[in-house]
Homo-oligomer: A and B are copies of this chain.
């Protein structure tokens, strides 16, 4: 909690350039900072950066800095280290080492991995006055801010919670048991961070207690950590929707090798899928040879379907991530996309029709049969855009139904699907309308 920062200009410059600095430069810049500024910078680093910095320090520096971290932060940092982990662990304060080790047992993306073991606790049989002075004692010993005070029995079972406000507002001689709230939102220690973020969003809480299978209190997760989770989950979704695997590390910090690996997979799959366009077009080779003009409009038509599909899939995927659209909403979504797809198709179809018409008037580009050509382009666009919207909306439902991440219905994935089918739609419409004239 870097509550106040009396940052010097040097500190500001270092913080500003941090991302541009190499590992070695970071350490040397860090070392010249005044202690206050260095602490401020250090506490503001993400776990990965902090780990990198620590790994390069001398044993004495490591001991100094690792002890500045709260146990949950120290556990996160240690999980990012490789060689120096044991040495760093031994550098922690003996009193908190067990806490750190316990926290390291949790995966980074579950409630246990996000929680802090430092929360304020009271016993149900305490009076309000006793509780307040007991909390005051805890406040002096512990570094964390007090949100709610948790009421535990002697076996650490979570009985209830009381806000500081309620405690303050209650009469001093009342017992905690009488004023505590017993119906609490709580998280199991292995709850996934995404579900946890939803719980926070739903209940508008500052902190949620984490319990084990026996309802024993393990720690609290606070909403400031959830902000990072929400950003992280959005980043993952965005990257998947853009047609790559989630990078997991910041763009500039991920190695070229890992970035290529995370992009090549999807790019190859999409390429193999898109190969079907070459195969499909093979079937229409004769039509193209007879009416080359058909090929001219092919990219225009299939990409319009892809764009409409991107819009639909993006809207549906995000609505699913926010819990606004569920599997049971399938028919409502399809009806919606049917209507908007048709309408959007009619708009683009009309423009496409006019495009051929106007170009013929201006440049005489398309010969005697320009009207049927214009009709082919226009009608194909209506169907392709409609089809694109429907597929774009449909795909996330299928993925979700099969328990895959709907975000994998990426824009390029939908575009590829619609390219292949759009092509078939276009040549089918053409073969019907142009038979006897151009074909």
Contacts and interface: CB of A to CB of B under 8 A. Distances in A.
Nearest to A319: B251
Interface in A114-147: 135-136, 139-140, 142-147
Nearest to A200: B227
Interface stretch (A57-65, A74-82, A213-221, A307-315): A307-315
Contacts of A318: 235, 238-239, 242, 251
Nearest to A363: B282
| Interface of chain A, main secondary structure | helix
A278 B251 CA distance: 36
Contact of A145 (B5, B136, B165, B328): B165
Contacts of A324: 19, 250-253
B184 A316 contact: no
A10 interface: no
A401 interface: no
Contacts of A239: 314-315, 318
Interface stretch (A83-91, A292-300, A431-439): A292-300
A300 B311 CA distance: 21
A263 interface: yes
Nearest to A412: B307
A243 to B, nearest CB: 5
Given A201-B231, A205-B1, A411-B411, A344 B260 contact: yes
Nearest to A314: B242
Contact of A292 (B289, B304, B416): B289
Given A267-B311, A306-B412, A227 B238 contact: no
Interface string A144-159: 1111100000000000
A422 to B, nearest CB: 9
A163 to B, nearest CB: 6
Nearest to A293: B285
A322 interface: yes
Nearest to A137: B168
A364 to B, nearest CB: 12
Given A227-B200, A340-B259, A252 B329 contact: yes
A300 B313 contact: no
A339 interface: yes
A315 B263 CA distance: 10
Contact of A300 (B148, B251, B278, B296): B278
Contacts of A9: none
20 contacts: A1-B205, A2-B203, A3-B181, A4-B185, A206-B224, A235-B318, A239-B315, A242-B313, A242-B314, A251-B316, A251-B319, A263-B308, A267-B308, A271-B307, A278-B300, A281-B295, A282-B365, A303-B419, A310-B410, A411-B412
